[in-house]
Amino acid sequence: MKINPKELNRHQAHDRLTEMVMPRPIAFVSTIGKDGVFNLAPYSYFSPLSNTPMIVGFSIGRKKDGQKKDTLVNIERQKDFVIAVVSESIAHPMVKTAAAYAIDIDEFEKAGLTPAKADLVAPPLVAESPINMECRLVQILEFGELPHQNSFVIGEVVQVHVKDEFITRNQIDALKLKLIGRLGGKGKAYCRTTDIFNIKR
């Protein structure tokens, strides 16, 4: 089978790409609206980009009408955000925040999650997450044409919070984290990161 991306419509391209690039980690992004309302939403186009400085990035699509999503609007104005990782224990609350809420709705409240004060940025940490990364905006790259434009948000991690119970021998313990990843296509499938094997390099 050979696939020419230029021959795919937007939905087909999404399905094929997410079927090929998986499992995908989930950036659980918190921001603050102009009226001080907390926003929280998951994004599974998420990646580390640099070690020093520590840089991460994630992609935000547009709403169906081409308008910017609340997360992007807030980051453009506030210039900072927090990325929490998603463990299996908060999978269901995470999915609740993926709904299209109005900009004045607090997704922490909707999902039953707890905002916690960050050290260096304004948006809150997700208290239930094992790891939170405080980020300051570096750059936003735009791809595609409206109304289906995508914005790739690049941020520098300025502070990391890791709960002590997830540290083993001075390193973050992947098995203890029990993170989940997003699988591809039209399905709602996720996977666990508890089946680990080692290969000597």
- Provide DSSP, 104-168: TS-HHHHHT--EE--SSSSSPEETTSSEEEEEEEEEEEEES-TTS-EEEEEEEEEEEEE-GGGEE
* Run means of pLDDT, 10 residues per run, the chain, 201 residues: 92 92 96 96 97 98 91 97 98 95 93 98 98 98 91 98 97 96 87 93 92
The predicted-structure confidence for 96-118, as pLDDT tens digits, reads as follows 999 989 889 999 999 999 999 99
Q: What is the pTM of this model?
A: 0.94
pLDDT for res 98:
93
Predicted confidence at residue 147, as pLDDT, reads 86
Domains of the chain and any CATH numbers? 5-191 (2.30.110.10)
Say whether the peptide bond before residue 53 is cis (omega within 30 degrees of 0): yes
The amino acid present at 85, given as its one-letter code, is V
